[in-house]
Structure 1
């Protein structure tokens, strides 16, 4: 958050993984982001240190290529760029087993926010499993708080599966976690993809949301098609059909710390940086 109280304009590191594999690439990319009006960056633990081939393969298979920048000196590169680190993504298991190390890495980047990036091989349709996850998040949040950190949870689509109770798993996680221990990073694209309404979620749970992820949702298909059905994907802010202006304006009124742009593919001109610049124009308009 800026001194004036508005959210920082930020970007997720995953978007620039392909153009930060070398030090010169990373330096140029970060400088270009700053020139485009970005003030912050959200980092991923697995992209700021050497990444096992298995992890890179999993993220690539999920449509999130991470590049080969894990051996770079990210604390120095980010500091030189002038960008603030708004948070670092880590997995819950690492937070639980290496709390002090995770906190120290985050502190080394100048942030006190650690984000759980969702659960792998987890049944979000199981009431008991979701309740146990809430307890784990509470415990991890308290452990991080003892190290001067705070914990946020980031959603994808699975959290909006319906439980036997009829409620969505995300709703249960918000209600069953301690607000002093756990906050949330609402990813609007995944919420909309799952059929949820980000504005309704912000109206109901906004005080728990400390970071906002956003990209627009639409299609790049041009010209005639065989059928009226076209593929829907992430697109730059202002080029799709999500209520981007209303969502960002609402999040600003809730004083979230940052609005974070994140796309993994389908970039305009095939360029993650050109995509960031187009979305950055919208952020500058809405968050002057």
Structure 2
């Protein structure tokens, strides 16, 4: 089955803050098939469910901060079950967390097992979304990224690889897709472009950067990825125009009808 195309709504955080409903309508009109939440505005779960059903968008998952996973997990479970989402994803860790070093990571792996068990009991699945810092240190000879998935069973923690950050960290995105095939339902499509010496690397619209996206998408389909998720951390152009450009690239390259 052809992989589906979703959008991480963090890209449109300023737009959803002003008009969540109107922004979702525009996302649906562009041709995105589903959304991954990064907050829900002020909409109740029932209101969100009804809106998504009306405009034909699937709610497949949500980025939920570690603090909310620890303190408000029951609320998240209830909301996501109401809107029909399947995946709960830990999206980032703070500098304060990371200052704890190896001890923090080992404690986090144990915590993730408990969260994964709770979500599995509710019919949901838990996943983790990487940045670059998971490739900057090792535990037991493995990058933290890999040590996490060695420590937590596959039925308790799925992989949401962010391809842009993997390449930014100096790793091979194709190799990582292959390594986690079968455990990788969610894949963030994020293009990076290397600037001139001394310039920051930044996220750009799909097809405007350095990633071999067509190869990566072909590998994702072989790896049984369910959702390819467009995300752009920062947009030089208006964010709605940026996500339109990205889905236009996907359509032009045969990845979306």
Same fold (TM over 0.5): yes
Contact 1:126 1:164 in 2 (8 A): no
Contact 2:159 2:180 in 1 (8 A): no
Counterparts of 1:174 and 1:164 in 2: how far apart (Å)? 12
Find out whether 1:40 has 2:34 as its counterpart. Answer: yes
Query: What residue ranges of structure 2 are gaps of 5+ in the alignment?
Result: none
Find out whether 1:218 has 2:193 as its counterpart. Answer: yes
Aligned with residue 276 of structure 1, among 233, 243, 257: 243
- Length, aligned pairs only: 251
1:17 match:
13
Deviates more, 1:75-84 or 1:230-239: 75-84
Deviation at 1:35, TM superposition (A): 2.5
Counterparts of 2:203 and 2:121 in 1: how far apart (Å)? 38
Contact 1:155 1:187 in 2 (8 A): yes
1:37-76 → structure 2 map (5 Å cutoff) = 37-44=31-38, 47-48=39-40, 70-72=41-43, 73-76=47-50
2:220 match:
251
Counterparts of 2:235 and 2:63 in 1: how far apart (Å)? 23
1:127-206 → structure 2 map (5 Å cutoff) = 127-163=102-138, 165-206=140-181
Distance 1:75-1:123 versus aligned 2 partners, 3 A rule:
same
Aligned with residue 21 of structure 2, among 8, 27, 30: 27
Distance 1:203-1:125 versus aligned 2 partners, 3 A rule:
farther
Deviation at 1:229, TM superposition (A): 4.3
Aligned with residue 211 of structure 2, among 242, 259, 266: 242
Contact 1:145 1:181 in 2 (8 A): yes
Counterparts of 2:205 and 2:213 in 1: how far apart (Å)? 10
Contact 1:124 1:169 in 2 (8 A): no
Counterparts of 2:169 and 2:99 in 1: how far apart (Å)? 13
Distance 1:35-1:140 versus aligned 2 partners, 3 A rule:
same
Report the secondary structure of 2:186's partner residue.
strand
Find out whether 1:109 has 2:76 as its counterpart. Answer: no
Deviation >6 Å, runs of 4+: none
Query: What residue ranges of structure 1 are gaps of 5+ in the alignment?
Result: 49-69, 222-226
The Cα offsets for residues 217-264 of structure 1, whole Å up to 9 and x where unpaired, read as 116x7xxxxx75443211111111111111111112222121111113
Contact 1:124 1:159 in 2 (8 A): no
Distance 1:164-1:255 versus aligned 2 partners, 3 A rule:
closer
Counterparts of 2:128 and 2:139 in 1: how far apart (Å)? 22
1:8 match:
4
Taking only aligned residues, the RMSD between alpha carbons, in angstroms, comes to 2.2
Deviation at 1:202, TM superposition (A): 1.0
The Cα offsets for residues 2-26 of structure 1, whole Å up to 9 and x where unpaired, read as xxx222111011111222234xx43
Deviation at 1:287, TM superposition (A): 4.2
Report the secondary structure of 1:156's partner residue.
coil
1:54 match:
none
Deviation at 1:206, TM superposition (A): 2.3
> Comparing both chains, which one has the higher relative contact order based on Cα–Cα distances under 8 Å and sequence gaps of 6 or more?
1
2:98 match:
123
Counterparts of 1:231 and 1:182 in 2: how far apart (Å)? 32
